[in-house]
């Protein structure tokens, strides 16, 4: 019963069965068939999990890995409703434990982050005192919104991060400089401590392409089933677990849910690593909810025992790297504009349209698994300032030129430069289209050859307004927030292109709750954001912030772009206090704009709040509020309001 109860709490399902609908012969047969199908699938999964567990007992890791892979394939297309069932969650947790044990038996270097499977011997004596003094000196009044205990285990990991694992930390924190502004903004919107951003150091070293032997993927290392529950889809073209923004929001919501269950951030972090059912078993067997007591028991794996000390140390070092001798080469913050690509198009073609290269597009769109966008419409991220050029180029491009891939078999005597020149491509473009390295280019290799650019970028700079009108509407394009929380619901305007504003290159750090450790530290420093200077004769509307206001909330209520609001109010990015003046873009008016007309959606078979929210670009929580829903269960034929009444 505790396992069922915990699973129901985690996934928001109810243990009480919903009453059956009115007895109609034509309808009654449907749930019966679905129940039989689900039971058969559950039995298949149970058989595979038990076979994998038996293989591990027999020290047959190869068979255990094979059965584990079969279970992953089996559950790949299961519905969210089935995945959320308590029995399925129990089997998936057992499967994760099998995968983790397989990983433990192999080389730890293959793990994408710093999750240490081996026991770490704590420093003692003078070393411990010296490290404690270093941490106290490095803090210099810094405040943290995540609790940090300065015990021997945490101080040991601080010492490791600044000595033997220093190279890893420098690389990881260098990559972190690209994503931390975005992560802090998302965590602030979701109500998660911003210091938990450094969890990605432990999970992946801030690498979107990271993949563990346990099949966890992306910066936040989601396994497929948990990722799908939190809205991350994947197919042959796209793997959203690799998308830094979508995966960060999913991680924030998962961590927040784990905290709601456990009531303790240490237990929430441990559950993120080991799974909530593992923590529940340990708590039940020991009768304590203190992490440090649990870490001294046999009920947690060594990796999980190391996890919280590693996280605390990563926060200490990550917040003040220079004071620990960690030297970082900062990267440009993750910033982009979006372009709607209406049909499958080669990344090489799109790169030429945007005046960049395929490698940059892959960096901005790491969820793309192939050398092209997926079939159908796709929101492509391009470097800031490149959206207009890309749209102009695509408007002139014939459909046959978007993805006219040819095949070519590399012959003996061929060189990379020779083949690329033959097809009017650069060597890098040819390698990027095939996801190859130069060393992998060899005779016998069959290449996909994208078409050359439809026209040179210079030719696409349409000089006259008359020519511009043929491609895009006259006048400025409407900016959108560059941090893509789900965009606000608005009527579709196909005659306008959506080009969001650039993310400000500053660390977006929300005001922190009361510090858990002594002292109050100065906030992290970051590049300043230049203030927008209003044009003479165009006064900028100003409002006074109320208690609980954030820039994101004000942007939504007044229907103005969040990016523009942040540029006008750089001092409010890190903290906004009641009574502070907030400058609005010109034309924002004296108050919120009129809400769009209420729209509705009729629920179809297989749809969920998450899938409907993605379809109309609204949050599932908003759908629940607008429709007075207490849970996530929907009925086929139910009509949902898609905006406030």
pLDDT tens column, 286-319:
999 999 999 999 889 999 999 999 999 999 999 9
Would you state the pLDDT for residue 540?
60
| Opening angle at CA 256, ends 250 and 261, nearest 5 | 125
Give me the residue label for tokens 């068939």: 33
Q: Which whole number is the average pLDDT over 595-601?
A: 60
Cβ-in-10-Å burial (0-12, 13-18, 19+) of 637 comes to exposed
Tokens of 277: 């059912």
pLDDT band at 174 (very low <50, low <70, confident <90, very high): very high
Fold match between 528-594 and 600-641?
yes
Pick 528-594's CATH classification: 3.55.50.30, 3.10.350.10, 1.10.10.10, 3.90.1150.10. 3.10.350.10
Q: Which residues touch 287 (CB under 8 Å, ≥6 apart)?
A: none
pLDDT band at 343 (very low <50, low <70, confident <90, very high): confident
pLDDT band at 582 (very low <50, low <70, confident <90, very high): confident
Separation of alpha carbons 504 and 334, rounded Å: 9
CA distances in angstroms from 234 to 208, 223, 321, listed in the order given? 14, 11, 36
Residue 570 has pLDDT above 60, yes or no: yes
Domain boundaries 600-641, corresponding CATH code: 3.10.350.10
Of 390-399, 439-448, 566-575, which gets the smallest average pLDDT? 566-575
Separation of alpha carbons 595 and 644, rounded Å: 8
Tokens of 581: 């003046």
> CB–CB of 256/230 below 8 Å?
no
**Which helix or strand (DSSP H or E) is residue 378 part of?**
strand 378-382
Separation of alpha carbons 244 and 334, rounded Å: 9
| Opening angle at CA 622, ends 618 and 624, nearest 5 | 120
For 571-626, give the DSSP string.
HHHH---TT-EEEPPTT--SSPPPPPPP-EEE--TT--HHHHHHHHT--HHHHHHH
- Domain ranges in the chain are 2-17+33-106, 125-324, 337-405+450-471, 528-594, 600-641
Pick 125-324's CATH classification: 3.90.1150.10, 1.10.530.10, 3.30.360.10, 3.40.50.1400. 1.10.530.10
pLDDT band at 382 (very low <50, low <70, confident <90, very high): very high
- Identify the CA nearest to 262 among candidates 272, 251, 252, 250: 272
Cα 604 from chain centre: 28
Residue 539 has pLDDT above 60, yes or no: no
Q: Which residues touch 550 (CB under 8 Å, ≥6 apart)?
A: 188, 189, 510, 576
pLDDT tens column, 396-433:
888 777 875 778 899 988 999 899 888 877 787 788 77
- CA torsion, points 537, 541, 542, 548, in degrees to nearest 10? -160
Longest CA pairwise span in the chain (Å) = 80
List 340's β-bridge partners, or say none. 379
Distance separating the N- and C-terminal Cα atoms of the chain = 41
> CB–CB of 84/15 below 8 Å?
no
Would you state the pLDDT for residue 558?
78
pLDDT band at 555 (very low <50, low <70, confident <90, very high): confident
Q: Which residues touch 581 (CB under 8 Å, ≥6 apart)?
A: 542, 543, 544, 545
The pLDDT mean for the chain works out to 75
> Is the pLDDT higher at 192 or at 447?
192
For 206-227, give the DSSP string.
S-TT-B-TT--BTTTTB-HHHH
Cβ-in-10-Å burial (0-12, 13-18, 19+) of 339 comes to buried
Residue 8 has pLDDT above 60, yes or no: no
pLDDT tens column, 124-151:
889 899 999 999 999 888 899 999 999 9
Give me the residue label for tokens 């977006």: 508
Would you state the pLDDT for residue 462?
27
pTM for this predicted structure: 0.56
> Is the pLDDT higher at 351 or at 551?
351
Residue 383 has pLDDT above 90, yes or no: yes
How many CA atoms, within 13 angstroms, populate the side-chain half-sphere of residue 339? 28
């Amino acid at each position: 019963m505790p396992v069922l109860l915990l699973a129901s709490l985690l996934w928001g399902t109810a243990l009480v069965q919903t009453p059956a609908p009115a007895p109609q012969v034509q309808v009654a047969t449907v749930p019966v068939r679905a129940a039989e199908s689900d039971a058969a699938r559950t039995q298949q999964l149970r058989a595979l999990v038990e076979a994998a567990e038996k293989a591990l007992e027999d020290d047959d890791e190869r068979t255990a890995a094979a059965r584990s892979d079969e279970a992953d394939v089996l559950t790949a297309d299961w519905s969210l409703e089935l995945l959320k069932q308590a029995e399925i969650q129990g089997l998936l947790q057992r499967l994760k434990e099998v995968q983790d044990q397989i990983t433990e038996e192999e080389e730890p270097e293959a793990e994408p982050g710093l999750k240490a499977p081996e026991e770490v011997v704590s420093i003692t004596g003078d070393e411990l005192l010296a490290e404690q003094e270093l941490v106290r000196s490095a803090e210099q009044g810094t405040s943290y919104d995540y609790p940090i205990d300065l015990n021997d285990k945490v101080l040991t990991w601080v010492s490791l991060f600044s000595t033997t694992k220093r190279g890893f930390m420098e690389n990881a924190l260098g990559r972190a400089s690209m994503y931390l502004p975005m992560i802090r903004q998302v965590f602030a919107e979701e109500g998660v401590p911003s210091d938990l951003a450094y969890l990605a150091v432990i999970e992946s070293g801030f690498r979107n392409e990271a993949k563990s032997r346990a099949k966890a993927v992306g910066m936040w290392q989601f396994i497929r089933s948990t990722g799908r529950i939190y809205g991350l889809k994947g197919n042959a073209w796209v793997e959203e677990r690799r998308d830094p923004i979508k995966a960060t929001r999913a991680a924030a919501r998962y961590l927040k849910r784990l905290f709601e269950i456990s009531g303790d951030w240490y237990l929430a972090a441990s559950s993120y690593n080991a799974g909530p059912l593992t923590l529940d078993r340990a708590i039940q067997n020991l009768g304590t909810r203190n992490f440090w007591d649990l870490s001294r028991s046999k009920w947690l794996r060594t990796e999980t025992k190391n996890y919280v000390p590693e996280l605390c140390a990563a926060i200490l070092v990550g917040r003040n790297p220079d004071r620990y001798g960690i030297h970082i080469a900062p990267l440009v913050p993750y910033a982009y504009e979006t372009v709607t690509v209406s049909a499958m198009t080669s990344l090489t073609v799109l790169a030429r349209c945007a005046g960049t290269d395929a490698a940059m597009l892959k960096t901005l769109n790491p969820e793309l698994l192939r050398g092209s966008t997926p079939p159908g419409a796709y929101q492509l991220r391009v470097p800031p300032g490149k959206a207009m050029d890309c749209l102009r180029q695509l408007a002139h491009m014939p459909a046959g030129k978007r993805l006219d891939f040819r095949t070519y078999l590399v012959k003996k005597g061929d060189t990379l430069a020779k083949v690329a020149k033959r097809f009017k491509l650069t060597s890098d473009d040819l390698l990027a289209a095939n996801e190859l390295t130069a060393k992998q280019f060899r005779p016998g290799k069959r290449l996909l050859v994208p078409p050359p650019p439809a026209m040179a970028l210079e030719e696409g700079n349409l000089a006259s307004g008359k020519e511009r009108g043929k491609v895009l509407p006259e006048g400025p394009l409407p900016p959108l927030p560059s941090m893509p929380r789900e965009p606000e619901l608005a009527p579709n305007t196909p005659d306008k292109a959506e080009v969001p504003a650039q993310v400000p290159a500053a660390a977006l750090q929300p005001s922190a709750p009361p510090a858990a450790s002594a002292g109050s530290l100065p906030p992290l420093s970051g590049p300043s954001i230049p203030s927008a200077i209003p044009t003479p004769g165009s006064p900028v509307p100003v409002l006074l912030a109320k208690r609980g206001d954030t820039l994101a909330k004000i942007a939504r209520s007044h229907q103005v772009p969040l990016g523009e609001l942040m540029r006008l109010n750089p001092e409010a990015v890190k903290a906004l206090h009641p009574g502070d003046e907030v400058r609005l873009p010109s034309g924002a008016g004296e108050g919120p704009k009129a809400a769009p007309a209420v729209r509705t959606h009729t629920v179809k078979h297989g749809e969920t709040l998450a899938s409907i929210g993605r379809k109309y670009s609204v949050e599932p929580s908003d759908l629940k509020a607008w429709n007075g829903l207490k849970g996530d269960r929907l009925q086929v034929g139910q009509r949902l309001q898609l905006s406030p009444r």
